[in-house]
Structure 1
């Protein structure tokens, strides 16, 4: 298990933007220490004993919410999940007022997911405890990018020089947004593929954009698929799912032609047989999808531990 000695240079984790390669490497190294712990028979550590963690999720979540809850509990924290549908948000209370109310209860760390870009930053401005961004609209999802990096590093032994192709709804994906910042920072080569309607107006420096998925796949070590996020679109994606799958769906056959040694990732939830075939998603030799979920708990334990160390001394 990680020893609580190293200090983290930031009070909050609001995005990959602002982190250095050293910051990312520290989180990944700390997370490595929790993997074996999480695979053990007893999963109880008390370093966050007496600390209160609030998970304020204004959007639905399975993987991120439950992994943060499990991470906090395994570290010994008192974990409370805020439910907006049962709160004064339904009466029109603003995000700032909700944050101030939660802050008055003296939490030691707040994890927030919200549909508005910049929501985590706004909450961090009014709270005096660490804030972790668990996804802000189409903005960032830093812990997802970190767990993706950890998954890749564990399988390939490195991030430097790894060729990663990200395909799907790049425009609306906070996962793509954070990965396009984190992976190049660690030395990876990142390409993105999407139809023009799902490609952002601009990309970070160094990211290669492709409309042709097969060209983007060529020689990739990792292929990360994304779902079409209809809930974030002003209008529905115009093409049929069959047409989309033909042009941008990932299958064993497509991998064999263009990236025969590539491993496959997906942040979930999946639209099976739209962006990825169910057969490939379930292939234990090629798919890292469930391992991403496992690495998510370890990464979030590392983040909770690192961000609360100053409050425990």
Structure 2
């Protein structure tokens, strides 16, 4: 692996090695550093968790960080994404981390870049680093992926997290089920759709998704009725099997995808996912550079 752009770039063996390395970073934060290296963070979309955890990962690796603001850059003068990345490569960045609203933005440029590029989210395409931290969270809980029942619930059509996780979990041997209202279903993914009530009692992992209002062609209101029909209510949580867990990539629309009281309930691993994001991104940066 040089670039990390989609979960298809990572073999199952590489996934497990990255997760092993991330756990080493958690146990011993100072085991290795990359103090002679630098990373450029190009975020063309708003981000809290992904951007800040990449920054923290770089700091823990003692790397130099080049932060980027599109509105204060030559993008406002018409500079292309390719020219922006080549500029940062030319001035010494060793790895380029990019979030961009265009799906598959990297296809036109990935073979023209001489340093590793990490996809931090491409529109409604993929989000491989989120997927890897989700996989770490699941492995910590169950110590396996094979034959786990995972339901991914929510705005499947517009979710890069759903696509990356469905691909990876299927390759790792999990049983993947999708839950979405009809207009948010993505039939390019080869998985069956069920209602949340059909799926919920048999799952080991219930992976909720944020409703991607900003990607909808028809702007919808944030209706609380979504929770009762498609979301995780307290009644549905009580129907989950013993030992099953709740996940969500966040930010959470409380009271819409999940009852607010369940965000930090005993089953919830939502904030553990965030914790795992730093170590996973350390492991990814190190792997891409070494």
> Which position in structure 1 is the counterpart of 2:125?
139
> Which position in structure 2 is the counterpart of 1:99?
85
> Which position in structure 1 is the counterpart of 2:267?
286
What's the CA shift string for 1:177-205, capped at 9, x where partnerless? 0001111111111111000011113213x
Displacement of 1:118 in angstroms is: 1.3
> Which position in structure 2 is the counterpart of 1:301?
282
> Which position in structure 2 is the counterpart of 1:224?
207
What's the CA shift string for 1:133-184, capped at 9, x where partnerless? 0000011100111110100110112111111111100000000000011111
Displacement of 1:244 in angstroms is: 0.9
Q: How does 1:184-223 map to 2 (within 5 A)?
A: 184-204=170-190, 207-210=191-194, 212-223=195-206
> Which position in structure 2 is the counterpart of 1:14?
5
Displacement of 1:307 in angstroms is: 1.0
- Structure 2 distance, partners of 1:273, 1:261, is 24
Displacement of 1:258 in angstroms is: 4.5
- Structure 1 distance, partners of 2:250, 2:217, is 22
CA RMSD of superposed structures (Å): 1.5
Judge conservation of contact 2:85–2:96 (CA < 8 Å) in 1.
no
- Structure 1 distance, partners of 2:286, 2:82, is 26
Displacement of 1:45 in angstroms is: 5.8
Judge conservation of contact 1:12–1:307 (CA < 8 Å) in 2.
yes
Q: How does 1:200-279 map to 2 (within 5 A)?
A: 200-204=186-190, 207-210=191-194, 212-237=195-220, 241-279=223-261
- 1:275 aligns to what SS in structure 2? coil
Query: Please, what TM-score do these two structures have when normalized by structure 2?
Result: 0.96
Runs of 5+ in structure 2 lacking a partner? none
Displacement of 1:128 in angstroms is: 0.6
- 2:7 aligns to what SS in structure 1? coil
- 2:137 aligns to what SS in structure 1? helix
Judge conservation of contact 2:70–2:76 (CA < 8 Å) in 1.
yes
> Which position in structure 1 is the counterpart of 2:17?
26
Aligned length: 290
Q: How does 1:58-207 map to 2 (within 5 A)?
A: 58-204=44-190, 207=191
CA distance 1:293–1:162, change in 2 (3 Å)? same
Q: Which sits farther off after the overlay, 256-265 or 149-158?
A: 256-265
- Structure 1 distance, partners of 2:111, 2:139, is 34
- Structure 2 distance, partners of 1:147, 1:24, is 10
Displacement of 1:113 in angstroms is: 0.4
Judge conservation of contact 2:33–2:60 (CA < 8 Å) in 1.
no
Query: Please, what TM-score do these two structures have when normalized by structure 1?
Result: 0.89
CA distance 1:308–1:83, change in 2 (3 Å)? same
